[in-house]
Amino acid sequence: MTDWLIRLFNQLFGDTKLAQMPTILVRGHDEPEYFPATSNQPARIEFAHGFFASCLHEISHWCVAGKRRRTLNDFGYWYEADGRNQDTQQLFEQVEIKPQAIECLLTLATGRYFYVSQDNLNANFDTSQSTFAQDVFEQACDYLHNPHSLPSDAKRLLWFFLNLCQHPDYQHTNF
């Protein structure tokens, strides 16, 4: 399914004739990363270890980033690895609400389960009071109730997923 997603994304967003800022999706070997376009190469989204969920997550960040942030390495975001303190975790969760809400919609449109990720398994504080999962759910619902607020590239990809993945032959095809 990951190969199918790479082909679809690259057809929709990688073509220099169709896309304002052509971007291609590729398998990464390590951590995910976004590389802006250069004079001779389109922008590149690398997702971690070939995982479908990582792929959708990185696409979701790309959808949220917008034109200006797409000119910055990793969209100008900071990242602090697992083991964040409580304050840093709260900042992380605030930045992740919209991308994970989009990831949720895209994942569900492909007929898969979505799991919110706080990405902090080694936290040394109680994370049970976090409202992050609820915040992501509420943002996803807001996008559904107010589709005009969904970034245009996310809408386009969601439309393709809903049309392709709801087809009766979808379950029997090796996308």
Q: How confident is the model at residue 74, as a pLDDT? A: 93
In whole angstroms, what is the distance from residue 17 CA to residue 168 CA?
A: 32
Instruction: Give the Cβ contact number of residue 101 at 10 Å.
Output: 26
Residues 64 and 151: beta-carbon distance below 8 Å:
yes
Q: How confident is the model at residue 15, as a pLDDT? A: 77
**What are the angstrom distances between the C-alpha of 69 and each of 19, 56, 64, 73, 83?**
16, 18, 9, 8, 27
73-130 tens-digit pLDDT:
999 987 777 778 888 888 888 999 999 999 999 999 999 999 988 876 667 777 778 8
- Average pLDDT score, the chain: 87
Q: How confident is the model at residue 175, as a pLDDT? A: 43
Backbone torsions φ then ψ of 101, nearest 5 degrees = -65, -40
CA angle 66, 23, 7 (to 5 degrees): 125
Q: How confident is the model at residue 168, as a pLDDT? A: 59
% of the chain exceeding 70 in pLDDT: 90
**What are the angstrom distances between the C-alpha of 153 and each of 110, 119, 126, 170?**
16, 25, 36, 23
State yes or no: pLDDT of 39 exceeds 60. yes
